[in-house]
Every structure is written in structure tokens, then in C-alpha cells.
């Protein structure tokens, strides 16, 4: 769980966005996610560079050559106007095309906009996010996995969205995700789907559950909920298994384009290199993936409804309420 220091930092970040003119909660979360993603990408890439130097395995940095200036660690020291211009004109366009022009990520990032326009806001946000990551590092030293803290950050941010209840855009608490993963027990080779994925919490939970199954006991730990966890996956010695796990295992759908982008960034920040998340209402006629997936895990949105004429023909319940139709949805 988040400690009081991280919660306080998130609250300060939220207040800065609010006072900086970005008052729509979901818009603020999306912009914060872009900054978190920039920070995490730099952090992950530096770790891979260090690991490759230690092991001798080849690794080409995503910031190689002229892209070195795109690093968070490069622009974080800039002055306000210089930093804002650098992010707007260089870093964000680089971010949007991160996985090549044809990737699922770049497709959904195509219409993404970096709307922070005040130099003071971007400087304050970068400073606060640095503080948050320093505290995350301390929690990691204490045995808390990064993905747990990352998920808790989103949960704390989403808790601020009172208007989101109309779409049910609330992150499922981590201990509930863990419990469902333990009960459903997804395995390597399964295709796993969340038809209302939001920030991707269930997909990350399933990923971590499978990694635990393939992590040696000496690399596993017991978390605060009494569950054994391991994220190393050292028993996965075949590159084809890693490719299967990271590219062809996890699938998610959400009707909100902002949530799709947040979910994509969230999965990529945790090592799922090519996330399969699409913008689609899985209750509508546009959804045609029935009986494709081996495992369905979801916490469908409540208090929502769908136009009667748009309901998928495979759904038989005489209702427009989303919580009932998702029960009818078989995957």
C-alpha cells in the first residue's frame, strides 16, 4: 500500500494540475501518466544498459544516438520554458512513435496531445514525480514490487474522480485482483482477456501470477497479504516463452480512448513490450471475439448503460445495464 509520503506527493501533484488549469480529472490522470511513462522508460532503459554491460548480452538502448536527449534524466534539469518546449516538440513525439509507426501503441497514441502549457506546471510536476519515484525505490528496498506501487498510484488518482462513477472507471484494489488470480490460476500458454480493462490491473495481476509460477522459490517473497510472489521468471529459459508471454498472452478492451492509452503505458512500464489493448465496447455489435480467449478476468463497470440498438446479438438478457450484460458476456 502507498505510504503517507507518496500519497501526499500525489495529492500535491493533483493540486498543481488543478490550479494549473487542468481540472478534468481523467485528462489530468492521462497527462500525469505521460510524465510517469517518460520517467519509467528512462529508468528501465538505464537498468537494461547496466545489465547488458554486466552480462555481456547485447542491448540497444531506445535512447541511443540522437535520442539520448529524450531521456527524463536529460531534460529534468532544464528551466521551465526550455523544458516545456523540449517535451512538446521532441520528447512527446518520440514517445508517440515509441514502438514504430505500425504498433498498437503508436496507433492509439496517434491522437494523444500533451496539453500542459504552463512552464511552471511542468517543472513542478517533474519535481514531484522524481520525489514519488524516490519513495517508490525505498518501498522496493522494503520488498514492495514496483508494479504494486504503480497500481496503487493509479488507484489513488482514480479515487479522486467522482464523475467517473458514470462509466465505472475505478481501479480494482490490488488484493482483489490477487485473490481472483489465485482462484482462476491463469497459466503460461493461456490467452487472457479483460473486456473492460481500464488501466490494465487484471492483466498485470495475471502476468505477475504467471511469473510467480516460473520463479524459483529462493527469488519469491511473501507480500503483505500473505501471498507468495515472484517476478523474476528465472525458470522461463526459452526466449519463445518470453515472447509468447509478453506479446500473445494478454488482451484488453476499453471503450474510453484515454483509458486505453493509460492501460498501454501501464503494461509497457511493467515489461509487457507489445500490449494488446484496443478501444472497443465489448458489449456492442463491434465486438466479435467470442470464444477466442482461454481466461476472462474482469471487474465490469457498474451504473452504466448501453443503447439498446447497439447491444451485441450474442447477449440475451433483456436489459441495457452494463453490470448485467457483462455477466452475460462469455468472452
Domain boundary among 170, 196, 223: 170
pLDDT tens digit sequence for 270-300:
878 788 999 887 777 676 766 788 998 988 7
What does the pLDDT average to over 187-212? 91
CATH of the domain at 205: 3.40.50.150
Task: Please tell me whether residues 182 and 325 are part of one structural domain.
Answer: yes
Question: Which residue in this structure is represented by grid cell 506527493?
Answer: 9
Same domain? 111 vs 200 = no
Note whether 178 and 61 are same-domain residues. no
Q: How high is the pLDDT of residue 206?
A: 94
By CB atoms closer than 10 A (0-12, 13-18, 19+), residue 307 is exposed
Do 165 and 145 fall into the same domain? yes
Q: Give the model confidence (pLDDT) of 230-263 as tens digits.
A: 878 889 888 889 888 988 899 999 988 888 988 8
> In this model, does residue 100 exceed pLDDT 90?
no
260, 278 in Cβ contact below 8 A?
yes
Q: Which pLDDT score is estimated for 134?
A: 87
Same domain, 153 and 269: no
Indicate whether 94 and 51 sit together in one domain. yes
Q: Are residues 108 and 205 in the same domain?
A: no
Per-residue confidence band for 111, with pLDDT thresholds at 50, 70 and 90:
confident
Q: Cβ distance 72 to 86 under 8 Å?
A: no
Helix (H) or strand (E) holding 231: none
C-alpha closest to that of 301 among 252, 255, 264, 258? 255
pLDDT of residue 329: 61
3-state secondary structure of 28: helix
pTM above 0.85, yes or no: no
* Distance, CA of 57 to CA of 18 (rounded, Å): 45
Could you tell me the residue range of the domain that residue 281 belongs to?
172-331
pLDDT, one tens digit per residue, over 132-177 is 888 877 766 544 555 556 666 766 666 655 444 434 455 677 788 8
Q: Please say which residue of 121, 152, 170 terminates a domain.
A: 170
Residue with cell 440475451: 316
CA angle 284, 288, 294 (to 5 degrees): 115
Asked whether 13 and 20 are in contact (CB, 8 A), the reply is no
**Degrees to nearest 5, angle at CA 191 with 186 and 195:** 95
What's the CATH code of the domain at 60? 1.20.1260
Show which of 107, 141, 170 is a domain's final residue: 170
CA distance 87 to 143: 33
Domain count, the chain: 2
Length of the chain in residues, anyone? Answer: 331
Residues 158 and 177 occupy one common structural domain: no
Residues 104 and 206 in one domain: no
Q: Model confidence over 311-330: pLDDT tens digits? A: 666 666 676 666 666 676 65
Amino acid at each position: 500500500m502507498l505510504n503517507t509520503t507518496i500519497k501526499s506527493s500525489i495529492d500535491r501533484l493533483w493540486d498543481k494540475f488543478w490550479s494549473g488549469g487542468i481540472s478534468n480529472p481523467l485528462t489530468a490522470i492521462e497527462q500525469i501518466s505521460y510524465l510517469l511513462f517518460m520517467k519509467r522508460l528512462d529508468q528501465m532503459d538505464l537498468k537494461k544498459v547496466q545489465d547488458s554491460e554486466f552480462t555481456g548480452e547485447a542491448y540497444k538502448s531506445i535512447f541511443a544516438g540522437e535520442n539520448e536527449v529524450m531521456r527524463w534524466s536529460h531534460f529534468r534539469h532544464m528551466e521551465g520554458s526550455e523544458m516545456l518546449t523540449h517535451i512538446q516538440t521532441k520528447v512527446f513525439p518520440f514517445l508517440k512513435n515509441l514502438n514504430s509507426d505500425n504498433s498498437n501503441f503508436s496507433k492509439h497514441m496517434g491522437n494523444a496531445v500533451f496539453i500542459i502549457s504552463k512552464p511552471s506546471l511542468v517543472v513542478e510536476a517533474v519535481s514531484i514525480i522524481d520525489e514519488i519515484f524516490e519513495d517508490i525505490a525505498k518501498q522496493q528496498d522494503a520488498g514492495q514490487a514496483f508494479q504494486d506501487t504503480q497500481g496503487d498510484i493509479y488507484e489513488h488518482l482514480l479515487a479522486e474522480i467522482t464523475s467517473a462513477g458514470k462509466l465505472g472507471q475505478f481501479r480494482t484494489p490490488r488484493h482483489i485482483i490477487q485473490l481472483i488470480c489465485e482462484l482462476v490460476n491463469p497459466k503460461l500458454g493461456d490467452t487472457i482477456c479483460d473486456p473492460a480493462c481500464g488501466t490494465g490491473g487484471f492483466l498485470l495481476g495475471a502476468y505477475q501470477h504467471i511469473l510467480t509460477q516460473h520463479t524459483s522459490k529462493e527469488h519469491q517473497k511473501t507480500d503483505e497479504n500473505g501471498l507468495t510472489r515472484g517476478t523474476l521468471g528465472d525458470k522461463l529459459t526459452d526466449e519463445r516463452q518470453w515472447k509468447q508471454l509478453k506479446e500473445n498472452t494478454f488482451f484488453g478492451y476499453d471503450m474510453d480512448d484515454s483509458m486505453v492509452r493509460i492501460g498501454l503505458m501501464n503494461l509497457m512500464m511493467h515489461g509487457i513490450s507489445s500490449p494488446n489493448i484496443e478501444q472497443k465496447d465489448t458489449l456492442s455489435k463491434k465486438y466479435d471475439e467470442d470464444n477466442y480467449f482461454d481466461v476472462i478476468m474482469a471487474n465490469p463497470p457498474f451504473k452504466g448503460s448501453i443503447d439498446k440498438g447497439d447491444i451485441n446479438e450474442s447477449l440475451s438478457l433483456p436489459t441495457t445495464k452494463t453490470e448485467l450484460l457483462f455477466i452475460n458476456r462469455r468472452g
